[in-house]
Structure 1
């Protein structure tokens, strides 16, 4: 058995621990640099932009019957509108991750959002009767959303600690729910009141006006959102590392892979459901005379908001309560269990609508709650399992995969399946409604699979969190200066004192405690035996 130089090993382990403390202190200093008020306002402004983004994405599903009538298109062509929009997000998301990793994340978000506003305003106004031009301009709008969705969460990860980050992400991702519910509520109202004003159809006003609102919220973002430097374990500021090495790490992390697959499954179901809901209810209202279309859509707007937030914020905070008490796998377990029931509640909502509207809406609420359980959980899991310098790229890759295999082609696939089912049958509203019910069996099955993958995350999360901490320490140590020689006289200089360990602690609730609360092993120089960090602090 080879001899072990316990003195050298002690130096190495002390240096690794000191590096971990330096990373924690660096983030603490960064958070102290920006006041609590500014950090909260940053979260509020970016969340408002996210609400407008998802209002825009949802409004096309609300006014889809009017768009179909305006351009005289089939279900497959109608699904293409959303598909092209999401494909642009797919293309831009990795680019956003790379740009955010190397340049200013704040200005990347602002420039991308300006491009989004321009496309959203110009698309419906200048396309005329050309469906092709309308789709091409609509595709350009996805670029801005990809920059906001990819980079905002990495800014939150640097500005807020582990204790408060899930709450901030819950609020930010709640924009999906609030934006969707506002689209259901305001879409028909604005479209009806502004119809034929200046010769423009109502749906043109409500879709183009979204870009104007986004531009208004973008103005304070320029002055309030801080230009937060990317954090690296090797020296504080962002570092241009190897993308290939980062990708290798990410795809060797089982928790990251399972999280992305689960997110993709839920994204497929939620995206296709939001896009086709109003069309399905419209068809059903012609079959079932008990359905008051305007009343049902207003009720759905309320359900989407209340039940969506119950699923996202309520279940998210429930999981965070247990996570902060040592149950690291509380988030994926909660998301997985409720997610596996989403397929059944979705099926109940669609099948019950022609028999009992209240029962159908009850199932609709349960479906909204169960499908939205992933909304903030998956972002926090990605931020937790990846080192800081990999988070923009990791979020970008998750966005790419989630949209490419999820909601990117979901609306097109559902539309194509419904057209296939309806072909050769009478072109009646009953057949059209039944064709959508049949097509959504695919989405219901996929959401159940997504819940199973989040259970898989719970089985691998603890080991991947340890792997991430080891990576941060190792990279930080390799960038530091190792002492050339070690004697008993200078070994005390390497000891990490209780003051150093607690320097990240602050009365500011948004500054973190130690990033790693688990005991760290080191070798005692004199005895050559293993002991824990707690023992070392008493020496």
Structure 2
């Protein structure tokens, strides 16, 4: 039976002895252990206190990751003025970062399923610290150096975002896992919002946008130290096996084949991709869009000399933090309430979030030139509905994929959702905006309208994402049951899309 909380002592529970013939294959995954060793029954588990501390550290680093990612978006109009670049060129700053992120994620996913995850994350974060700090020293004549450094920042995020959720999945299970995953993912909108706030506030105080990029690397040094000293590397599947863990050997090709047969994973990954497209486009361009709306309406003068007014970044950051916290808490609460009543509740909640955000996005696009306060209300509602999904998407992946393939699953999902989502959406929105503006008079009005019309892509992507999550709901019950049976040592039904022999319990400590 699946434990209800974090890893607890197995002493009072009868232990299973899992055995298979030497030639038995897990799909094409070779079982490396044939029985439960007696010494592991008495192996002390990771304590609740240490598990909670680990989650707190992972949350802190996740906060810094997203603060750093959106600090540039918070001062984007100032950077555009400083380097004298177009919308499409400015969008490249986010695109190159996401591209390196998605290209490296499969590599870190492969390592994360096989080697010590703390060492991998620490190495990636070290690269992140150096390149993020280096970005803050680029001068006006070296814009392409800034682009290069932004691409290298993706190394750290690829290592961390791919692996950190799997550690939480190995420390907790059941309702507690959902709560801990929610705590981790709530720092995506919180960190994003603080990125805007820190970027605009530090720039305002110092009169130089370079200083805004130096805050997160300084705080990141503490995060790196805490990660190395306080975070454990639990055995894979430890939460489901009372601290013992499961193991197996497989090639990367076999892992991918397993995931492609998992329909819940495939459809939910497509939904995540649509969500990434939306959040990437909105996060990068909304403050600039609202600033141009006010200039177009004559409420604010055109920025001629730095520092430009970054008030919209400050407000948008606050809205993002508030809507993100409320959205993640609401999504988690809805999941906990409906999960025992409807087995496919999680993807339905995600579908409601995506489809519900669509009319709010239309309102943002068409009301910006009329009323900025009303527009911010709809920005809040759109971000609230999208934030319902953050923790649920991570939990879906953890319970439909077996523990020994979760890092690979996270990595492939990250690669696909960023490749087709937020890697291209900031650049696409900027490129469409440039094309529209270049065919019309060079006025503040057309500078606003061009970005407005390019934003019309977003609501239709929201509808598409909602449909993907509805498709996920058709398969999730069966896929969740199949993954659970594999971990518990029971063969899943023969007609299961992931029908394979059960995993084996570790007979040695995690390497």
For normalisation by structure 2, the TM-score amounts to 0.84
**Matching of residues 441-452 of structure 1 within 5 Å:** 441-452=456-467
Q: 2:232 maps to what in 1? A: 226
Q: For 1:16 and 1:326, how far apart are their aligned partners in 2?
A: 36
* 8 Å CA contact retained: 2:75, 2:196: no
For 2:293, what is the secondary structure of its paired residue? Answer: helix
In proportion to residue count, which structure has more helix?
1
Measured on the aligned residues, the alpha-carbon RMSD in Å equals 2.7
Name the structure 1 match of 2:105.
93
Change (3 A) 1:477 1:135: closer
- 1:307 paired to 2:323: yes
**Residue 165 (structure 2) aligns with:** 153
Q: Which residue of structure 2 aligns with residue 526 of structure 1?
A: none
Deviation, structure 1 residue 127 = 5.4
CA contact (8 A) 1:101 1:238 kept: no
* Aligned pair partner of 1:336 in 343, 351, 364: 351
Q: CA deviation at 1:428?
A: 1.6
Q: Secondary structure at the match of 1:102?
A: coil
Does the 8 Å CA contact 1:50/1:175 hold for their aligned counterparts?
yes
* Aligned partner (choices 320, 338, 344) of residue 322 of structure 1: 338
Deviations 1:75-94 (A, max 9, x none): 11001110000001011100
Instruction: State how 1:17-416 maps to structure 2 within 5 Å.
Output: 33-126=45-138, 129-195=141-207, 202-231=208-237, 236=245, 238-290=247-299, 296-323=312-339, 325-416=340-431
CA contact (8 A) 2:246 2:504 kept: no
Q: Would you say the 8 A contact 1:92–1:143 is kept in 2?
A: yes
Aligned mates of 2:361, 2:40 — CA distance in 1:
43
For 2:138 and 2:70, locate their aligned partners in 1 and report how far apart those are by CA, in whole Å.
21
> Partners of 1:84 and 1:90 in 2: how far apart?
10
Q: Deviations over 1:199-237 (max 9, x none)?
A: xxx211111322111112221111100122334999845
Q: 1:173 to 1:479 in 2, by over 3 A?
A: closer
In the TM superposition, what whole-angstrom CA distance separates every residue of 1:455-509 from its partner, at most 9, and x where no partner exists? Answer: 11111111111222344434665869xxxxxxxxxxxxxxxxxxxxxxxxxxxxx
For residue 297 of structure 1, report the CA deviation from its aligned partner: 4.1
Question: Taking structure 1 as reference, are residues 218 and 437 closer, same or farther at Cα in structure 2, changes over 3 Å only?
Answer: same
Instruction: Indicate which of 412, 419, 423 corresponds to 2:438.
Output: 423
- Stretches of structure 2 that go unaligned for 5 or more consecutive residues are 1-15, 21-30, 302-308, 492-499, 506-511
Which protein is bigger by CA-based radius of gyration? 1
List alignment gaps of at least 5 residues for structure 1: 1-12, 196-201, 481-539
Deviation at 1:14, TM superposition (A): 10
TM-score by length of 1: 0.79
Distance 1:294 1:219 in 2: 33
Residue correspondences, number:
456
